[in-house]
């Protein structure tokens, strides 16, 4: 059974930096499609970035300060957010799909989700 556990969410000031983690069990991050999504209050969940064995993809709306990476030894996916802005305030989720390849960043493509971690950015 695949399980994803996010951590690292925090309250930060605009212009700071934080790094989110997603520790996986039941799959190998090096051979899977994993992605970061976020959901702001009153808005739909949206994709931010994905990573599989072929590379990385960022949503058009993702800023240059979003960097997705992974540590295969720790079986963990990361999302670094540099210079966050108040509009980046959201619950950030890690997700995986059964395909093993990241075809897109559509919510419906991903079948396993973590519980989310809250990021709050103040001005």
Q: What are phi and psi of 109, to 5 degrees?
A: -75, -20
Distance in angstroms (rounded) separating the CA atoms of residues 27 and 11: 30
Q: Which residues contact 64 (CB under 8 A, 6 or more apart)?
A: none
Region 102-111: mean pLDDT is 94
Distance in angstroms (rounded) separating the CA atoms of residues 9 and 112: 20
pLDDT digits (tens, 9 = 90+) for 43-54: 999 999 999 999
Write down the pLDDT at residue 82: 95
């Amino acid at each position: 059974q695949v399980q994803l556990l996010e951590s690292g969410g925090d309250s930060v000031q605009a212009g700071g930096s934080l790094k989110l983690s997603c520790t996986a069990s039941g799959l190998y991050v090096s051979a899977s499609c994993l992605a970061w999504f976020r959901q702001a209050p009153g808005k739909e969940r949206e994709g931010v970035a994905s990573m599989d064995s072929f590379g990385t993809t960022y949503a058009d709306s993702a800023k240059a300060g979003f960097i997705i990476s992974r540590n295969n030894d720790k079986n963990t996916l990361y999302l670094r957010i540099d210079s966050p802005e108040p509009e980046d305030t959201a619950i950030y989720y890690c997700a995986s799909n059964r395909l093993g390849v990241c075809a897109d960043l559509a919510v419906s493509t991903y079948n396993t989700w973590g519980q989310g971690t809250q990021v709050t950015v103040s001005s």
